[in-house]
Amino acid sequence: MKFTSSLKLKLIYVFRINDAAHKGCLKVGEATCDNDNVFGLAPNSKALNESAKKRINQYTQTAGIAYDLLYTELTIYNSKYGLCSFNDKEVHSVLERSGIKKKIFDTENKANEWFITDLETVKRAIIAVKEGRESLSSAEVSHDKSPIVFRPEQREAIEKTKKQFKKGNQMLWNAKMRFGKTLSALQEVKDMDFSRTLILTHRPVVDSGWFEDFGKIFYDRRDFAYGSKNNGDSHTSLETRAKQGQCKYVYFASMQDLRGSELVGGNFDKNNEVFATAWDCIIVDEAHEGTQTDLGKAVMQELTKDKTKILRLSGTPFNLLDDFKEDEIYTWDYVMEQRAKASWDELHFGDPNPYASLPTMNIYTYDLGRLLNEFVDEDVAFNFREFFRVNDNGTFVHDKDVSAFLNLITKEDRESCYPFANEEYRNIFRHTLWMLPGVKEARAMSAMLQTHSVFQHFKVVNVAGNGDEDEESKDALVAVEEAIGKDPDATRTITLSCGRLTTGVSVKAWTAVFMLSGSYNTAASSYMQTIFRVQTPAAINGKVKEQCYVFDFAPDRTLKVIAETAKISSKTGKTSGNDRKIMGEFLNFCPIISIEGSKMNQFDVPRMLEQLKKVYVERVVRNGFEDRSLYNDELMKLNDLELQEFDDLKKIIGQTKAMPKTNQVDINNQGLTDEQYEELESLEKKSKKKGKDKQPLTEEEKQRLEELKKKKNNREAAISILRGISIRMPLLIYGAELKDESQEITIDNFASLIDPQSWEEFMPKGVTKQKFNNIKKYYDPEIFCAAGKRIRAMARAADKLSVEERIERITDIFSTFRNPDKETVLTPWRVVNMHLGDCLGGYNFFEQGYETTLSEPRFIDKGEVTANVFAEDSRILEINSKSGLYPLYMAYSIYRTRVKNSLFSVSSIEDEQQIWDKVVAENIFVICKTPMAKSITKRTLIGFRKAKVNTRYFEDLINQIKNKPEHFIKQVDKFVSERTGIKNMKFNAIVGNPPYQVMDGDAQASSVPVYQYFVSIAKKVQPNFISMIMPARWYAGGRGLDDFRADMLSDKTIRSLHDYPKASDLFSNVGSKVDYAIS
């Protein structure tokens, strides 16, 4: 027997197999070296090669495979730290993080050390391992690379941005899908030579796409590196090298990851280095997603340094445009693309047309509401949610109607205008995307399609949720591509979705999308993102896709969205003489055809211009009246007296806490006369002319333009002041009680509809009705009236929905309302769910992280607490309701208990309403501080219907609770006994978010806490449970809180206390710590 050394040298080997299957691939492996001469073994030396072949022969000779050994090298090497070694796994990691693809041949034994690369790249990867790098630069990866040839519009965007970044710090690319935003933005980084660039996106999956495009742009720049959590180097490695002057870098991060960081109010101690980095440039990809929330804004604020340039990219930036000046926006829209396509041959005869592969969009609308008018709601839109409503057993409630719809679009007819009416059409629309309202609806539709006489010949791919129950769950895109197969002309598919595959993916074979979901107020951004999925260029079996189609079954929604898209792309503000041209051009390149029976009618410009008015109204409502469209041009014509009036108003509004800083009105700079307003428009148009029409402004005209622009700025300043009043209007309009519901709420009668106590409570302190009447002339009366009508129409339409859908609609309306100030905090629906879900349980409308709503509420069980509070005979009290959202949550959980215990089947909306009304009448009791708060609560609970609601307005509520607690309790008991006939009622729970403070009237405008009185009075009423939100200032005592603090600390009945050191986790404009408790 012979002992051998337990320590052996290792080597790396690289070999190839010369057959078709392994073409372009190399295997990188590790072997043991039998020679111990560390310093005598050079790369590719005889000893190393023999050891490598010995290892390779073990698994190739049995299969009789011939191979070429290309390279060998010892894994031990000399560094500044002494002798070090590496292994093959480290080389594999560098190759993978450098974007080099693996190739797997032996799936059973996972022989996955093969890479699609060349020898020089592998050698560089070995060097990178020795240097401690995690990836190769793009220049180190051998590819057949050549410079990207940018199209004229891409080059224009790059050049305009370079010019803008010399004088400002922000730029928006409003560029449609397939513009090439990624490549163009990276070229911008290269041209500007930024040292540190951050790519921020709401979609982590696009990391690989950015990494791949980085290689295409920076293939000739070794000094640039890429990094992310999955590709390239880590941020720590990149920043270390950058500080040593070794590289410049582009780093990719997701918004989801960053907003979870403690620095911006998240729960995890992470990403501190990323936030601390002095970014030269931040590129926000799909900037319309996730950046406008409070958390998104906090992330951007923390990342942005004084000199950081921000480039936002979006194909549908409709929620961002108002934040940018005209010279900060580059636009490339569908019309521009199709115009360039049509004019290319004329302007570039003989050159290949780069736009030729982009299909023309055709939109066909079918008015289902005319055929099935029972599904049209008061929102003047077809109610897809109701039409496709699903039973507990997974079938459609309106089974016969849905079946009739499928029969209608497939009815055999050579003359029909329905998409599946004959074999020719079925071949045109072999592969289509169908958008449905939800996961359950998609499942029911899948089952129905598979048994339909025509659609059973199509493969149905359900990518909504987890798909069909009997189908194996797989990646949505993979499932669709597998179903379509290698020859799309040999298959037929229908893809069902309720959101997946509508952004950032391309399925070439799709020729049409069917819009069978959404409502009149569907966001233009999500609509356009979805329909552009079918505009993906495609060449199938030698044929090029030249046309693509959208089939929409809600015509009004189609027209509104398209009008908004066409108008917003032009960024021309309100209706002007230019609108007719804009709309005409859009309809030329994107015809919209109305189908009625066998008749086809093309929409014209006048009808589209009518839709624009609706667009402005919708935007005002969606923005909570925080929108320029709400005001008229009187603000451009302010005289001395009016300017002084605004200066005085600013002093009042400026005292409102938690409001954005109001702009200064220049009282020495009066507004514009009608003639001057026209002159300004004329000069601005002249200054923007390009090409042969360009006419330089004279020095006198330039001076005049600046002067007129200053006066225009006064309008913006005035709007910033009026904002403090405007954002309070929607809630008051929502709750207003009208004797005659046919009466309109106008800017002239608005103030008279609100009682004095409510006006004082909801409006800024000091803004009297008289002051309001002096400034109401600056509001556009038509927009104000129509926006008010829209808010009430949405609320009224909710009365005809199922209980769950009504709650979704009402809380959607509340999500548009703005919080005016610290004293008038409207508890967001998300926070109501967090609070009551954490403390009492019940049915909750948010997923566990409270980031997104659920289509189906989830049940949270807190044991005896939940059982007691949400029992069928439970009695709930809220003291000081402002919105009615607390009783809404409580009522729903009790409603579910009653439905469960119901003796009859609950199968219709009428059945649901009957049980709901019983809950509101018997289980829910609400006390309000003002008559308007009472009306708002009633509207939230039962809408415009006639039903019993136990709400009472208590005059001087805070004073009564603070100074006359016993009298207040008697009044509550009297109120309850009058409604129920029960004296000394025992409440199961008292819940709410009481007022935190009131002004104490001293010269410093300070405030004193009052929430402790609400907690104390709740304890004196002696319910089974109390759960309230309050500031955590009581921990420290003082300011009249010492007794309350002592009482809370000695209270043995407190079961749980949820503390939020950062109030911004709950409320965006409350400064101190917040907690909520159950006792």
Instruction: Give the alpha-carbon dihedral of 662, 667, 673, 675, to 10 degrees.
Output: -90
164 and 114 part of one domain: no
Report the distance separating Cα 1018 and Cα 881, nearest Å: 14
Q: Would the pLDDT of 6 be above 70?
A: no
Range list of H helices, 532-673: 555-570, 579-589, 605-622, 640-653
Domain that holds residue 239: 152-332
* Per-residue pLDDT at 1079: 54
902 and 760 part of one domain: no
Could you please report the per-residue DSSP string of 775-804?
A: HGGGB-HHHHHHHHHHHHHHHHHHTTS-HH
Per-residue b/e over 498-509, b at no fewer than 16 CB within 10 Å? Answer: bbbbbbeeebbb
Number of domains in the chain: 5
932 and 1065 part of one domain: yes
What region, left, alpha or beta, does residue 1023 occupy, with left being phi > 0 and alpha being psi -120 to 50 degrees? beta
In a domain, 858, yes or no: no
Boundary (domain end) residue, out of 738, 767, 782 = 782
DSSP tag of 745: P
CATH number for the domain harbouring residue 983: 3.40.50.150
Report the distance separating Cα 919 and Cα 949, nearest Å: 10
Handedness of CA 695, 698, 701, 702 (dihedral sign): positive
Boundary (domain end) residue, out of 782, 798, 820 = 782
Number of residues in the chain = 1079
* Per-residue pLDDT at 1074: 59
The answer for residues whose C-beta is within 8 angstroms of residue 969's C-beta and 6 or more apart is 1017, 1020, 1021
Q: What values do phi and psi take at 801, rounded to 5?
A: -100, 170
In a domain, 622, yes or no: yes
Instruction: Give the alpha-carbon dihedral of 192, 196, 202, 208, to 10 degrees.
Output: 90
In a domain, 607, yes or no: no
409 and 278 part of one domain: no
521 and 379 part of one domain: yes
DSSP tag of 418: S
* Per-residue pLDDT at 520: 56
In a domain, 563, yes or no: no
* Per-residue pLDDT at 112: 63
Q: Would the pLDDT of 677 be above 60?
A: no
Report the distance separating Cα 493 and Cα 510, nearest Å: 9
Q: Would the pLDDT of 377 be above 80?
A: no
> What strand order describes the sheet that includes 114-116?
68-74, 9-16, 25-33, 114-116, 102-103
* Per-residue pLDDT at 1015: 93
944 and 1051 part of one domain: yes
* Per-residue pLDDT at 39: 64
- How far, in whole angstroms, is CA 725 from its chain's centroid? 27
Give the CA count within 13 Å in the CB-facing half-sphere of 759: 14
Looking at every residue in the chain, the average pLDDT score rounds to 84
How far is the CA of 92 from the CAs of 2, 30, 141, 387, in angstroms? Answer: 36, 11, 14, 54
Q: Select from 177, 191, 183 the least CA-distant residue to 332.
A: 177
* Per-residue pLDDT at 228: 93
550 and 643 part of one domain: no
> Does residue 191 contact residue 224 with C-beta atoms inside 8 Å?
no
* Distance linking the first and last C-alpha atoms of the chain: 79
pLDDT, one tens digit per residue, over 693-730 is 556 767 776 777 776 666 667 777 788 888 889 999 99
In a domain, 455, yes or no: yes
* Per-residue pLDDT at 185: 97
Q: Would the pLDDT of 1071 be above 60?
A: no
In a domain, 733, yes or no: yes
* Per-residue pLDDT at 668: 37
Q: Would the pLDDT of 1002 be above 70?
A: no
Q: Would the pLDDT of 40 be above 70?
A: no
Per-residue b/e over 431-465, b at no fewer than 16 CB within 10 Å? Answer: bbbbbbbbbbbbbbbbbbbeebebbeebbbbbbbb
Boundary (domain end) residue, out of 764, 782, 800 = 782
Judged by DSSP in three states, 690 sits in: coil
324 and 369 part of one domain: no
505 or 1006, greater pLDDT = 505
What residue type is assigned to position 464 of the chain?
A
456 or 685, greater pLDDT = 456
633 and 731 part of one domain: yes
What residue type is assigned to position 652 of the chain?
I
> Does residue 210 contact residue 284 with C-beta atoms inside 8 Å?
no
519 and 549 part of one domain: yes
* Per-residue pLDDT at 607: 67
* Per-residue pLDDT at 65: 77
The greatest distance separating any two alpha carbons of the chain, rounded to the nearest whole angstrom, comes to: 110
pLDDT, one tens digit per residue, over 874-891 is 999 999 999 999 999 999
Range list of H helices, 168-312: 181-192, 207-217, 235-243, 255-259, 272-276, 294-303
Tokens of 144: 């057949």
* Per-residue pLDDT at 915: 95
Q: What values do phi and psi take at 198, rounded to 5?
A: -110, 130
In a domain, 580, yes or no: no
> Does residue 140 contact residue 102 with C-beta atoms inside 8 Å?
no
- How far, in whole angstroms, is CA 1022 from its chain's centroid? 43
* Per-residue pLDDT at 544: 82
pLDDT, one tens digit per residue, over 117-161 is 988 899 999 999 998 899 988 878 876 556 787 889 999 999 999
In a domain, 831, yes or no: no
Strands (E), 445-546: 459-462, 493-497, 512-515, 539-540, 543-544
Which H or E run includes 888?
helix 885-901
Say what the pTM is.
Answer: 0.64
* Mean pLDDT confidence for 427-442: 94
Other beta carbons within 10 Å of 858: 13
Handedness of CA 78, 82, 88, 90 (dihedral sign): negative
* Per-residue pLDDT at 2: 45
103 and 196 part of one domain: no
Look at the block and give the residue holding tokens 């009042």.
652
* Mean pLDDT confidence for 179-197: 95
410 and 305 part of one domain: no
CATH number for the domain harbouring residue 470: 3.40.50.300
Q: Select from 958, 1062, 1057 the least CA-distant residue to 1012.
A: 958
Instruction: Kindly tell me the number of DSSP H helices and DSSP E strands found in the chain.
Output: 38, 37
Pairing of strands 360-366, 547-552: parallel
* Mean pLDDT confidence for 947-965: 92
Look at the block and give the residue holding tokens 């931040």.
282
